[in-house]
Every structure is written in structure tokens, then in C-alpha cells.
A and B are shown apart, each in its own frame.
Chain A
Amino acid sequence: MTSARRGGRPRSFRSARRVRHRLAADLALLLVAVAFAVPLGWLALASFNEHAGLRTSLPHPFTLGNFQAVLTPDTTYTPMFNSLLLCGSATALTVAAATLAAYPLSRYRSRFNRPFLLTILFATCLPITAIMVPVYGLFVQVNLIDTLWGTALFLATAQLPFAIWLMRNFMDGVPTVLEEAAWTDGASSMQALWRVVLPLMGPGVGVVTVFTFIAMWGNFFVPFMLLLSPDQLPASVSIYTFFGSYGTVVYGQLAAFSVLYSAPVVVLYVAIARRLGGGFALGGAVKG
């Protein structure tokens, strides 16, 4: 029965069906794409619209005034600089600590490796949101509250488990032959890491760095809880001033600011997207 059908199905019929399937799939995907694009369209159109409201409409009249209005030290430059300082220093710390930690985990056999890695993986999954109340309490007691460096330390730690996990996976992909040659020549393990391993895993370090930075740049809850003075707030929190004391919200300016604030992470993501590629084995990538 089966073999008869197998032989009896004409080729043209099957390819016609394949075309039909492709059309159906295209149609379904386009429908979803449009649904996902509508809110994004509002953002793009409203940022150029002088009289932007909540409803999506073509800019009327078209203007760059929204961008001009928000590109002031108070509204954009200071918060963006704060974001850069906070996320930049925290990313540097995370990547440095993760690189150091990944080296022994990747290169030496030890009975501590497995429990340590399991703990790390467990920590990548913990809901950071839940510990923000005690972190606030601790920060008040040790006078770290409302300090940029204290917040950076916490952000760095929150991203650290995932960065270690990712970094070790990348390091496992670097063959040990070259290092063994370096050891024979009398290099210490830290010299081998710095001179031999890191140059070979440049793309891996890049992915970890960009990924860590993107996660921190978008983080709202941590700086929202730990930073208080307005002149220290990063862009993710200062965006609230658009809803502030003035009563009415200027939606065009809110959209323009959102575009400026989102631009760096979108650019960075595009830069590493190829490397992440299909092999998205980044379990735990989107924890909050």
C-alpha cells in the first residue's frame, strides 16, 4: 500500500503542493510580521511627527523638531552618559571576572568544576527581580545606595553567571596545543591566557561583551531601585521624566528619545547577530 503510493505520486503534483505550502507559510509569516511591526511603526513615525499622538499616523508635518528638543544635556546627554558609565564599567568588570574564572574551569580537571558550574547555571536562572528588595536594604545599610559604582557592582554580578557560562563554552572551543607550547617555553598560565588563548577567542569575548552590555543597557529595575538622585539616573529610568510633572505627555519627544536610547543596542545586536547565528545555544539568555 505504502510503496504503491510512494511510486504513484507524480512529481509535478508534489512540487505544486510544495509551492502551495510555501505560499501558506509566507502568508502566515507576513501576517505575524505586520502585527509585530505595528508598534514599532508607531515609534518610527511618531518621532518625526510634530503633533504625534498615541495613534499611528504619517508625520504631519514631518519634523526633526522632536529630536532637536530632546537633544539637550538634561534630557539626553547626561542620562546617556550615565548609562554608558554604568553599563560600560559593569560590563568591563563582568567580562574581566568571567574570563579569569573561565580559564581554570576550561583547562584544569578538578572535582570542584562540576559543582561550581552547576551553581553558576542555577544562578543564571534565578529571578533577580525577587532579590531587589533585600539588595536595597543591604545597600542602605552599607551606604552603597545611590552610588553609581555600587549599582555597577551589582549589575556586574547579576550578569556574571551567564557570562562565565558563555565564556567557558567559547574557551572550550580553543585547542590546547598552542598553550602547551607556551608552557614549555616557561610561560605562566596567566601569560598563556593573555597571549595565546584570548587572541584566539576574540569573537567569543566580543559576543560575551556585547551580550552583557545589551542586557545591562536595557535593565530598568536595578537602577530604578538603587539610584535615586536625578542627575545620576541612566536613560532607562530617566525616560520617566517624560511622564513627569508637566501633565501632558509630548509623545513625539518620548518617541524620539526612545529611538536614541534604543539605537546603541540595536546596532550592537546587528554587529554580533551573525556570530550568534542559528546555533543559539545560549540557554538562560533572557532572564530578567
Chain B
Amino acid sequence: MRGARRTLLRGLPVLPSVLLLLLFLAGPIAYCAYIAFTDMQLTGASGTHFVGLANFRHAFADPGFRNAVVLTLVFTVLSSIIGQNTLGLGLAAAMRRASRPVRTVTGAVVIAAWVLPEIVAGFLLYAFFRREGTLNAILGWLHLPSQNWLFTLPILAVSLANVWRGTAFSMLVYSAALAEIPQDIAEQAEVDGASAVQRMWHVTLPMIRRSIGTNLMLNTLQTLSVFGLVWAMTRGGPGARSQTLPLFMYEKAFQQSLIGYGTAVALLLLVVGALFSVVYLRLLRTEV
């Protein structure tokens, strides 16, 4: 009994955090799980009815939803798994060989892109990809055909924008991971005549596989919830050709006032995020 009281007393400082988390995080999540099964509309809560799985059935039959899922997959695979992850690893690996000034300058520029507020990054890349923007100027200068990027390939443009903005994180994670590989192992492989590619594949990658797992997981979670960047560049358009799930959710809930339907989509996004989080926790298991 005394032990229980002591535990309670000692745990008291955790209380403010617990209260905040319950009120503003757990509460909304529970509320999300509730309205996802109702037909709530923005115009008034009086007519809200429990509709079971209707929102979800509606979603899976809705071409707009399927379009958003496909675009979200493309966006995530292109920008997070292929783009940020691979480029970040490449940069970190090249930095270990490069001369000091080059390393410093490259690090600063890549990190600057990451530190800038999301909405500023969105405007910068909007200016870069516009028809009369800098990218086409560069292409013209190289005598390559120009494109109206935000119209013909909007999902590619926003994916590249996300690579620009997010690569720094992977670079930092991999720089830390590569620095922990014992020097003599890398040298031994080099002495044994392994090529750079062979060393990367057979020595380096297996040794940093935990970092790869962690990084992929965090990148994917981050990319799944990108809103401001896409919103500033294309608003999901033209049409719905760069409308990823967060933008789809926003449109349904607020521009079409279908709160129930929008929340059902949000709940699906949340469940996917939660699944990734659980995998991430398993990867970290030994550290907690």
C-alpha cells in the first residue's frame, strides 16, 4: 500500500503531460474513430447518424479515393524510399571521401533546404518548376526540350520537391551510421580487392541495416503526412493529378463539407501510420 502511494507521488510530475496527451491527442484519435462511422457534415451536428461502414465502402468505390491512394504510393516510393533514402546514403558515403570544404558546403546547402519552413520550400519549388521558372531556363540553356512540369507531371514535380526538402534527414542518419563502421573492416575489404560497389553491397549495407530500417520507416511516415508542400505547389491539381491522401481528406472534409467521409479517410491514413510505427518500434526494440 505504501509502495503504491510512493509510486503515485513520484509519478505526479508526469501528470501535466498525460493530461495534455489525453485531451489533445488521444481524444481526437478516439473522436476520429467515432465520426468515421457517421455521416457528419459541416453544416450542423444535429443530423449526425451512425452509418456503420458506409464511409469506407464509399471510399473503396470512389475513383477519387483510389486515385489518391495510387498517387500517395507513387509519391512515397519516388520521394521517400527511392529519392531521400538513396540520395541521402549516396551523399553520406561520398562525404567520407570528399575534401573538407566540399563536404561542408554540400552539407550546409542540403540542410538549409531542410530547415526552411515547409511553406517557403513549397513556394521555392513552385517557382523552380513553373513553365516560366528556373528549371526550364536551365533546360533551354542545355538545348533540352522544356516542359510545363506542374501540368504534365505534377506528381513527379512534388516528389522531387519532397526529395529536395527531406534528403538532409537521411544524410544525417547515414553519416552517423557510416561513422560507426570500424575503419579496419572497410580497409580490409579494399585491400582484398573488393570494388567500391562490392564493398557497399557486401560490407557497408549489412552493417548499417538497422539505420536503413529506421530511416525508411521515419521517411515514409513523414512523407505520408506531407500537406503544405503539395498544397503550396499544386493544391493537388491540375484536376486531381497530384492529390495525395492528406489533400483528398482535406477536400472532402472542408471543401465538400463531408466531415464523416473525410475522417474515414483520415482514419485509414492513421491506421497505416500506426502500422508503420509498430514496425519502427520493433526495429528499435533493444534500445528502449
Contact = CB atoms under 8 A, between A and B. Distances in A.
A89 interface: no
Interface of B: 7, 10-14, 16-18, 20-21, 23-25, 27-29, 31-32, 35, 40, 45, 87, 90-91, 94-99, 102-103, 105-106, 109-120, 123-125, 127-128, 130, 132-134, 137-138, 164, 166, 169, 172-173, 175-176, 179, 191-193, 196, 214, 217-218, 221-222, 224-228, 231, 246, 249-250, 253, 259, 262-263, 266-267, 269-270, 273-274, 276-278, 280-281, 284, 288
Contacts of A287: 218, 221-222, 225
A118 B111 CA distance: 30
The 3 closest A-B pairs by CB, nearest first: A127-B225, A218-B117, A220-B228
A36 B102 contact: no
Contact of A22 (B32, B97, B130, B249): B97
24 contacts: A22-B99, A25-B96, A26-B102, A29-B102, A29-B106, A40-B113, A55-B132, A56-B137, A96-B16, A103-B13, A104-B13, A118-B281, A122-B274, A130-B246, A131-B270, A132-B266, A161-B21, A236-B118, A236-B119, A258-B123, A278-B175, A280-B176, A283-B218, A286-B222
A166 interface: no
Given A100-B13, A104-B13, A125-B276, 6 more contacts: A105-B14, A121-B281, A126-B270, A131-B270, A285-B169, A286-B166
Given A118-B281, A127-B269, A157-B20, A39 B164 contact: yes
Interface of A: 2, 5-6, 9, 21-22, 24-26, 28-30, 32-33, 36-40, 42-43, 46, 53-56, 93, 96-98, 100-101, 103-105, 108, 110, 112, 114, 116-118, 121-123, 125-138, 141, 153-154, 156-158, 160-161, 164, 189-190, 193, 214, 217-221, 224, 236, 239, 251, 254, 258, 261-262, 265-266, 269, 273, 278-281, 283-288
Contact of B116 (A122, A125, A164, A266): A266
A269 B115 contact: yes
A104 B106 contact: no
Given A157-B24, A286-B169, A110 B7 contact: yes
A120 B262 CA distance: 27
Nearest to B167: A36
B176 to A, nearest CB: 5
A160 B184 CA distance: 41
Contacts of A236: 117-119, 228
Interface secondary structure of B, over-half rule: helix
Contacts of A97: 16-17, 20
B176 A279 contact: yes
A226 to B, nearest CB: 11
Contacts of A43: 120, 124
B102 A129 contact: no
Contacts of A26: 98-99, 102
A241 to B, nearest CB: 12
Most B CB contacts (10 A, CB to CB) among A98, A100, A132, A251 go to: A132
Contacts of A284: 218
B13 A262 contact: no
Contacts of B132: 53-55
Nearest to A39: B124
A124 to B, nearest CB: 8
Nearest to A259: B120
B270 A156 contact: no
B20 A160 contact: yes
B273 A127 contact: yes
A97 B21 CA distance: 11
B263 to A, nearest CB: 5
A125 B273 contact: yes
